[in-house]
Structure 1
Amino acid sequence: MDESTPPPPPAAPAEPSPPPPPSTFGSPTDFLKCSGQTRRGILSCLDGYMNIAMEQTEEHVNGRVTNSYGDTFIRGNNVLYISAAEPL
C-alpha cells in the first residue's frame, strides 16, 4: 500500500443477533402437558430423590391407556411432576 491509497473503511459493526423465538409453551403447565404421556397408579413409596414405586400402574398417552405395568419403579430424575388423582 502506498501513501496515495486511502485506508480501507472501518468494518461495519456486527449485526446484533436476533432475539430468541418466543417460547412454544405458553406456561409451565403447557410444557408439562406437551408430551401427552403419563403414568397412573397407586403410590407405594416415594423418597427424597423423587424415586417413585407404584402399584397397578398404567401408561396413558393423550388420555388413552396404552400399557399396564403392575408394579413400577420410576427413577426420580425422570419425574417432571407428581399430582394426586381426583377423588372418585
Structure 2
Amino acid sequence: MVVARNTMSRRQNPSEFLKQIIGKPVVVKLNSGIDYRGILSCLDGFMNIALEQTEEYSNGQLKNKYGDAFIRGNNVLYISTQKR
C-alpha cells in the first residue's frame, strides 16, 4: 500500500510538468527525428517552444548551435528534461 501512495504522489499532469521545466535544460524531439537541446524559455498552449542556448542534433551528432530558437508546436514529437 505504501508503494502505491508514493507512486500516486509523483504523478502530475502534463501542464504541471511543463510549468516546472521552464528555465531548465530540455531536449525537444521533432517529428523529423532532429533533436534540439537548450534552456526552455517559454511555451504556449499550441506547444510552440522558445529555447535559449540551443543546439541542433541529427543522429546524435551536433550539427549547429543557435542563440535563441523558436519551434512550431505541430513539429514537436516530445519534450524531455535533460541534465547538462
Give, as a single letter, the amino acid of the residue that structure 2 aligns with 1:55: E
Give, as a single letter, the amino acid of the residue that structure 2 aligns with 1:78: N
Q: How many residues align?
A: 56
Structure 1 unaligned regions, length at least 5: 1-31
What's the TM-score, normalizing by structure 1? Answer: 0.56
Q: Which has the bigger relative contact order, CA under 8 A and spacing at least 6?
A: 2
The two structures, once aligned, show a CA RMSD in angstroms of 2.2
Distance (Å, rounded) in 1 between the aligned partners of 2:66 and 2:32 = 19
What's the TM-score, normalizing by structure 2? Answer: 0.58
Between Structure 1 and Structure 2, the one with more strand by share is 2
CA contact (8 A) 1:36 1:63 kept: no
Between Structure 1 and Structure 2, the one with more helix by share is 2
Aligned residues: percent identity? 67
Change over 3 Å in CA distance of 1:36–1:76 after alignment to 2: closer
